[in-house]
């Protein structure tokens, strides 16, 4: 099933134009990791973890919008994505309260600090790449570096190392029982290996 069809199954055929616009967002040429493949991967995992969510369709909508605005030279992408969700979903039949819930979940992806079951599912789906096999994780790190090609190597390595250390200091990287069981061990191994490589100048 193509992504626009997945959108219309979720939001209704009358919103096809919105789905096409969102697909266009994730297909922007400057993206290397935050792409249509990332969107598909997040949606697939939200489907897989749906029983863990309070409102799976709200999580699915938030997944569609969570990286809809992505400019690596800005630090307000999540806020801008949430505002886009509020604007686009206002043109649909979705209840205002659920629109607010979608936007709140999108904003939460800035910190990945979920406050409820829906947030936990979205966080785990978004960060699942951290627990991928080493080859997939290496491809992810290369793609992220390409998105930040404008940052000199020395500064990128320092900033990336700080992020990895913060993640490794967390008591758990994943928030759902399924996410912890499936991804936690591999994620910590991947993060430690990348951190070693950065400190060794790799």
Please indicate, yes or no, whether residues 9 and 70 belong to a single structural domain of this protein.
yes
Q: What is the CA radius of gyration of the chain?
A: 17
- Give the domain-ending residue among 78, 111, 129: 129
- Give the domain-ending residue among 77, 107, 129: 129
Q: What is the per-residue pLDDT across 111-165, written as a single tens digit (0 to 9) for each?
A: 999 999 999 999 999 999 999 999 999 999 999 999 999 999 999 999 999 999 9
Please indicate, yes or no, whether residues 144 and 69 belong to a single structural domain of this protein.
no
Please indicate, yes or no, whether residues 122 and 84 belong to a single structural domain of this protein.
yes
Split at pLDDT 50, 70, 90, the class of 29 is: very high
Does pTM top 0.85 for this prediction?
A: yes
Please indicate, yes or no, whether residues 108 and 141 belong to a single structural domain of this protein.
no
Tally of structural domains, the chain: 2
Please indicate, yes or no, whether residues 173 and 140 belong to a single structural domain of this protein.
yes
Q: What is the per-residue pLDDT across 90-115, written as a single tens digit (0 to 9) for each?
A: 989 999 999 999 999 999 999 999 99
Please indicate, yes or no, whether residues 150 and 105 belong to a single structural domain of this protein.
no
Please indicate, yes or no, whether residues 168 and 86 belong to a single structural domain of this protein.
no
Distance set, CA 131 to CA 26, 149, 180, 194 (Å):
23, 24, 10, 13
Please indicate, yes or no, whether residues 86 and 66 belong to a single structural domain of this protein.
yes
pLDDT recorded at residue 167? 96
- Domain of residue 117, CATH code: 1.10.3210.10
Please indicate, yes or no, whether residues 91 and 141 belong to a single structural domain of this protein.
no
- Residue 14: is its pLDDT beyond 90? yes
Quote helix, strand, coil % in the chain, to nearest 5: 70, 0, 30
Please indicate, yes or no, whether residues 11 and 111 belong to a single structural domain of this protein.
yes
Please indicate, yes or no, whether residues 162 and 91 belong to a single structural domain of this protein.
no
Name the residue range of residue 138's domain. Answer: 132-199
- Residue 22 makes CB contacts below 8 A (sequence gap 6+) with 7, 64, 65, 68, 88
Please indicate, yes or no, whether residues 139 and 172 belong to a single structural domain of this protein.
yes
Q: What is the per-residue pLDDT across 32-59, written as a single tens digit (0 to 9) for each?
A: 999 999 999 999 999 999 999 999 999 9
Residue whose pair of structure tokens reads 């290996």 in the numeric block: 193
Q: Count other C-beta atoms under 10 Å from residue 183's C-beta.
A: 22
């Amino acid at each position: 099933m193509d992504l626009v069809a997945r959108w219309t199954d979720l939001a209704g055929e009358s919103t096809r134009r919105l789905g096409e616009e969102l697909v266009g967002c994730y297909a922007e040429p400057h993206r290397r990791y935050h792409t249509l493949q990332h969107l598909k991967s997040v949606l697939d995992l939200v489907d897989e973890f749906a029983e863990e969510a309070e409102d799976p369709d709200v999580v699915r909508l938030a997944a569609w919008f969570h990286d809809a605005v992505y400019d690596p030279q800005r630090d307000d992408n999540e806020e801008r994505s949430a505002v886009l969700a509020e604007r686009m979903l206002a043109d649909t039949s979705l209840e205002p309260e659920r629109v607010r819930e979608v936007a709140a979940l999108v904003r939460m992806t800035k910190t990945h600090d979920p406050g409820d079951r829906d947030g936990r599912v979205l966080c785990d789906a978004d960060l699942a790449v951290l627990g991928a096999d080493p080859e997939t994780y290496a491809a992810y790190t290369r793609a992220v570096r390409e998105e930040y090609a404008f940052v000199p190597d020395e500064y990128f390595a320092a900033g990336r190392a700080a992020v990895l250390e913060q993640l490794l200091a967390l008591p758990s990287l994943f928030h759902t029982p399924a996410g912890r069981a499936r991804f936690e061990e591999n994620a910590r191994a991947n993060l430690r290996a990348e951190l070693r490589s950065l400190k060794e100048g790799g």
